[in-house]
Amino acid sequence: MVPTPDFIVSLREKIGTDLLFLSGVAGVVRNDAGQVLLGRRSDTGLWSVPSGILEPGEQPAEGLAREIEEETCVVVSVDSVVSVWTLPEMTYPNGDRSQYLDVCFLCSHVSGEPAVGDGELTEVAWFDPDSLPDDLGPSARLKLERALAFTGRATFDGDRYAAVPGPGADRTERRVLATFRDGDRDVVVRRATDADLPAIVRLLADDELGATREDEGDLAAYRRGLAAIDADPHQLLVVLDDDGEVVGTLQLTLIPGISHQGAWRAQIEAVRVAADRRGSGLGGQMVQWAVQESRSRGARVVQLTSNAVRADARRFYERLGFIPSHTGFKLPLSD
């Protein structure tokens, strides 16, 4: 297991499992041959870029260089900031809640040969960028993609909202929005693309209600719907991606309003998890991510509806803290 820094242990004695916001750093290290330095983590077993938590008062570049040398026995120069983002909140098996500001740097090899250092890694090696290990963590893969495509401008997580693609735009990009743990696997949340539509429709159709209203044989209407979602900066359709397999989905809508002093609301809809993954906790993590995403976009309340016949779904949302405070009404409109 990765050891917990002493200052975090001390804080936990005071705050228990309450949310702790921490500063993390990561480095994409390249050598003269263009290879990148990776280590296999002792806690997850996945390959990753070197990373660590800053000590109080520590400068980010100095802290990263320290972490890399301690973990990999390699000395580096820290050259450029590649990306800055706040990761989704995570809960550890012991109940501790943490969230990380993650700053990724591009680094150059100065000296030293890769070797296991302080025990946080079980293997360390150089890899060609076109021959990366299959069991590379999704977050590390994204950091590598950003670093290797770096042109001098840092990437910020908010950039995904800066330029919203209109109808007909290329929606093949699969940018990771969050990463969850499912047993010994990483499952990522990413924006849905046209290629995901068959899987999304199958998820929507996989219950007694959806089976009567979805049509997996004709995707044209679904494509128009996705184009409209992508054209609206207040809409987001996401999928849960397990190594290329879509195992969940939901739609998030931000709604401006006048009541409650002009408060914005967030609406969560079309929450689905594949039948063979229900009960794994993925659905709860996905909805909790949507709640946090809503908060980060300025929403003051998150709302959703669930059909009255879905007793299991109602219990699921209540366990997540949603209150059945209103009675919903719907009026189908005929053609």
CA atoms within 13 A on the CB side of 221: 7
- Calculated CA dihedral for residues 28, 29, 34, 38, nearest 10 degrees: -80
d(CA 198, CA 183) in angstroms, rounded, equals 26
As for how many domains the chain has, the answer is 2
Per-residue model confidence (pLDDT) at position 18:
93
Is 101 a member of any domain? yes
Query: Residue 66: which domain range?
Result: 6-161
Q: Which residues are CB-contacts of 35 (< 8 A; sequence separation ≥ 6)?
A: 126, 127, 128, 129
Is 167 a member of any domain? no
Q: Are residues 116 and 156 both part of a single domain?
A: yes
Per-residue model confidence (pLDDT) at position 142:
82
Q: Are residues 14 and 141 both part of a single domain?
A: yes
Query: What is the mean pLDDT of each successive set of 10 residues along the chain, which is 335 residues long?
Result: 82 93 95 94 88 93 95 95 85 83 95 90 93 84 84 68 34 65 86 91 88 86 88 88 93 91 91 92 92 86 89 89 88 78
Q: Are residues 68 and 100 both part of a single domain?
A: yes
DSSP SS3 for 151: coil
Region of residue 95 (left: phi > 0; alpha: psi -120 to 50; beta: else): left
